[in-house]
Amino acid sequence: MDAEAQRAVVAAARVGHLATVTPDGRPHVVPCCFALEEGRIWTAVDHKPKRSLRLQRLANVRANPRASLLVDHYEEDWTRLWWVRVDGTAEVLEGGSERDWALAALAAKYAQYRDAPPEGPVIALAAERWRAWTAREPSLGS
């Protein structure tokens, strides 16, 4: 999967898995809605039910900004499997113009965010490295 295809499938995906590192070095992965624009990936703290608004992913990013977003596709026909992982540096946005831009991008992608804009912080991931795998190998000599 070339770079253009990687960006296209990530931008179109409805859910990803955000991986962060806890302050004591353990991995922490959560599913998330997100938007991708110009090498930045944003995910917001929204009003879906949560145990607490003191979310581990926010504490993780504040303690260690290294993070990844994994987007994948599964189906029973294993020739159609693929995944894309975006690694980078994350930050928590509590306010400001980038947070506003991120919320607009999320609302453009998800009707739920148009109906009820997130009020919490936004995590911004600056894409530094893209990795991908697909079960469909390009055919040689064709």
* pLDDT of amino acid 8: 94
d(CA 136, CA 9): 15
* pLDDT of amino acid 59: 95
Q: Strand 66-73's sheet: what is its strand order? A: 27-32, 16-21, 66-73, 82-93, 122-134, 40-44, 35-37
Give me the residues paired with residue 29 across strands.
Answer: 19
Q: Among 97-101, 116-120, 125-129, which stretch is predicted with the lowest mean pLDDT?
A: 116-120
Q: Is residue 141 part of a domain?
A: no
* 88 has pLDDT over 70: yes
Domain that holds residue 10: 3-134
pTM (2 d.p.): 0.89
* pLDDT of amino acid 89: 98
Q: Is residue 102 part of a domain?
A: yes
| Number of helices and strands in the chain (H, E) | 4, 7
Q: Is residue 106 part of a domain?
A: yes
The CATH number linked to 120 is 2.30.110.10
* H-helix segments, 39-138: 56-63, 97-109, 111-115
Closest CA to 82 of 19, 126, 131, 33: 131
Q: How many domains, in total, are found in the chain?
A: 1
| Bigger pLDDT: 70 vs 138 | 70
Q: Is residue 142 part of a domain?
A: no
Q: Is residue 139 part of a domain?
A: no
Q: Is residue 13 part of a domain?
A: yes
Q: Is residue 67 part of a domain?
A: yes
